[in-house]
Structure 1
Amino acid sequence: MIESKLYNYVEIASFQEAKNNNAWCGDAFFCIETDEYFICAISDGLGSGQLAHNASQLVISYIRENHHEPLVFLMDRCNELLLNKRGVVLSIVKVDFINKEIIYSNTGNINCIFYTTNGILTRTIPKRGFLCGRKSSFTTQCIPYDKGMRFVLFTDGIELPTSLHDVIAKEVPVSRVIDFVKERATLKEDDITFLVGDILD
């Protein structure tokens, strides 16, 4: 399923597919914008099917209700919620409009890449592991942003060839990026979520 949305300060486009057209997608994501920030979270339940779906939806539902909290708090609380449940990997990106910075926290193998308007590519540093209720510590990474910066987040159902980065960095609108990724990226036999966003101000 392909979706796009224009907020006041951010424009996004995304697509999501369940493994083998399963009724249950183990990936979930959520985006919201306020006057002060934009938040995007992507969760990927371990494995696939209904249990993976339920775990991903659990953490995304919590973030939806509590997105005003600091990112480390959200990561901690989502981890606690998954005790004795299927684990997930999770990435959260917050675009802070007041301080003009991007704050990022994650655990696991969800990819997050930023593209500046002058062609500089920045990959975030992933934290190994996954959320499952075991005690863990979480941190944030912060990077400044300028108007026009682009970001992508995607689960491990996609492999991006190096040749696609130039297209992702320059192609407009963001919906066209989705088209190129679907045509040219390697789509694995897995749940797939890919999201691209532009910071408009």
Structure 2
Amino acid sequence: MSDLVEKFFTPDDRKRIEEAVRDAEEQTAGEIVVMAVSSSHHYPAANLVGGMSTGYLLALAAALFSGRDHMWDFTLFFVLFFILCNELIRRSWTLKRLFVRRSDMAEEVEEGALKSFYSKAVFDTVDHTGILIYISLFEHRVRIVADKGISAVVEQREWDDIVQHIVRGIREKRQAPAVVEAVRRCGAVLQRHVPARPGDRNELDDRMITRQ
């Protein structure tokens, strides 16, 4: 399956996002980490459900149109179409999305964001002022996870507005400008609540983290 991160964010896009992070952090004691993943989960059940349902319908149609209504003929058609459809869904993000429930996507993105917050050590700042902008492209979902030094002073609705800005950008195929603007907005929020102080240092890498 193709790497959506490579498709959505060019090397130049990533450089612009890195520069936006660096500029935003100059005005705040907060730290911003941007991470983009192709998907938060492989959703293997979607391959099975999609392969079985479409395979069944195609096998039924093939049996009817061929005039071969014996059970063994239908079974043969079903096996062939199941294998074909299963493989097509496994290889296509667009087809797979048809067989994944929105609630499952929301749950996997939430879990992926929280796991990444810890695995990428976004919590590892002196005053717990790191935030993670987690972008999951297959699901078209974004989460902003803030450490306790930020969540104690910033209301969730401020992050929700920024999240929706990125989601709209992804859907409108202008993901890079949307992320750059989102980083700028995050920087403005952090500047209001945790402004830069003398002696502040850059505690987390500014480069965009990517994962297929």
TM-score (norm 2): 0.29
Identify the structure with the greater strand proportion: 1
Which structure: larger Rg? 2
Identify the structure with the greater helix proportion: 2
Comparing both chains, which one has the higher relative contact order based on Cα–Cα distances under 8 Å and sequence gaps of 6 or more? 2
